[in-house]
Amino acid sequence: MARVSDQPSMRPDASLPLERPVGGMLIAARSVFARSLGIILLIVAWEAVARSGSVTPFLLPTFTATMTRIWSDTLSGELLGNLGVTIYRSIAGFAIATVLGIALGTLMSRNRLVRWFFDPIISVGFPMPKIAFLPIVILWLGFYDVPKISMVAVEAIFPIVTATLIGIQGVERELLWSARNMGANEREVVWHVVMPAAFPQIMTGLQVALPIALIVAIVTEMLMGGYGVGGAMINASRLADSRGVFAGIVEIAVIGFVMVKCMALLRRRMLLWHQEAQDPTTV
């Protein structure tokens, strides 16, 4: 099925049966519809239940009212500001975690002393609910961005380090031997053999870490208040403004979805050369 001669540009359409151009578009449109059917039904059900009067608008505002609220927040610029702050915090923390995590994972796989020191720390620290440390971090770093971004980085770094470590350990010995045999020095081996070969695993770690980064950014905002989508939701909840709360949920669901999709797309792009890109994509 997968041949080297296949053009990468042909890939996206490969899963669809080839038909006449117009028919192909129709089929694509239909499959998009089929895939979003569940979401559409969910929204219809939401609207119907909220309108039926069996629950008060306080407990469940209608979908249209929630969207109107989001629209008015967009017009006033409030939404964009809050979104920007939340995304900035999660991406900044995620970026720090990525750089430090990959570096630490690589160092741990190359150096036994580093490995000895960090191994128990990571195996004990990974399963801990680190969010419990937030009051302490506030004590140390105050409010605003710094404690939030550090919290995000601390939570996100664990999956990245472990994935890097596992990825590097899984690199085939034959690759290393042949690279060394052909005269590559240690640095070239790391950059040109180990890193590319471990990359799919590292990418998986990043894909696990990104939603965590977003979760932690929102949690810290909720716990500390202030700007950001999380803070706005908590304020709305304290003021018994249920439209604001549901608007927050819709916004957060959309950001999470977009972030995860972007990451999956990035993976497909960056791993075009890899075996896994040839496999049919699954649901």
Tell me which of 68, 237, 277, 278 binds other proteins, using CB under 8 A. 237
Three-point CA angle 66, 67, 71, nearest 5°: 120
Decide: is 143 part of the binding site for other proteins (CB under 8 A): no
Least spacing, CB of residue 43 vs other proteins, in Å: 10
Instruction: Give yes or no for residue 272 binding other proteins (CB under 8 A).
Output: no
* Chain center to CA of 41: 26
Q: Interface with other proteins includes 191 (CB under 8 A)? A: no
Distance CA(2)–CA(231), nearest Å, equals: 49
139 binds other proteins (CB under 8 A): yes
| Stated length of the chain | 283
Distance (Å) of CA 33 to CA 28, 38, 63, 93, 283 = 9, 9, 20, 36, 15
Counting other chains too, the contacts that 109-112 makes at CB distance below 8 Å and 24 or more residues apart are 109/164, 109/165, 109/168, 109/169, 110/190
Of 46, 88, 118, 227, which one interacts with other proteins (CB under 8 A)? 118
Is 121 one of the binding residues for other proteins (CB under 8 A)? yes
Stretch that binds other proteins, among 16-24, 32-40, 64-72, 97-105 (CB under 8 A): 32-40
Minimum CB distance to other proteins, residue 232 (Å): 10
Number of Cα atoms under 13 Å in the Cβ half of residue 274: 14
Closest CB 113 distance from other proteins, rounded Å: 10
Pick one of 175, 219, 271, 277: the residue that binds other proteins (CB under 8 A): 219
Contact 61, 245 (CB under 8 A): no
- Select 200 or 228, whichever has its Cβ closest to other proteins: 228
Are 151 and 212 in contact by the 8 Å Cβ rule? The answer is no
Residues 199-218 that bind other proteins (CB under 8 A): 211, 214-215, 218
Site for other proteins in 50-89 (CB under 8 A): 58-59
Q: Which two tokens stand for residue 6?
A: 């296949």
Smallest distance from the beta carbon of 147 to other proteins, in angstroms? 13
Q: How far is the CB of 177 from other proteins (least distance, A)?
A: 30
257, 265, 266, 270: which one contacts other proteins (CB under 8 A)?
257
Using CA of residue 73, residue 75, residue 76, residue 82, what is the dihedral sign? positive
Please give the Cα distance from 54 to 152 (Å, whole number): 40
Q: Taking each helix axis as running N to C, give the angle between helix 78-110 and helix 229-238, from 0 to 180 degrees, rounded to the nearest 10.
A: 130
Which of 193, 222, 243, 267 lies at the binding interface for other proteins (CB under 8 A)? 222
User: Which range, of 131-139, 145-153, 163-171, 269-277, touches other proteins by CB under 8 A?
Assistant: 131-139
Which spans of this chain sit near other proteins (rule: CB under 8 A)?
34-39, 41-42, 58-59, 116-121, 124, 127-136, 139-140, 211, 214-215, 218-219, 222-223, 230, 233-234, 236-237, 240, 242, 245-246, 248-249, 252-253, 256-257, 259-260, 283
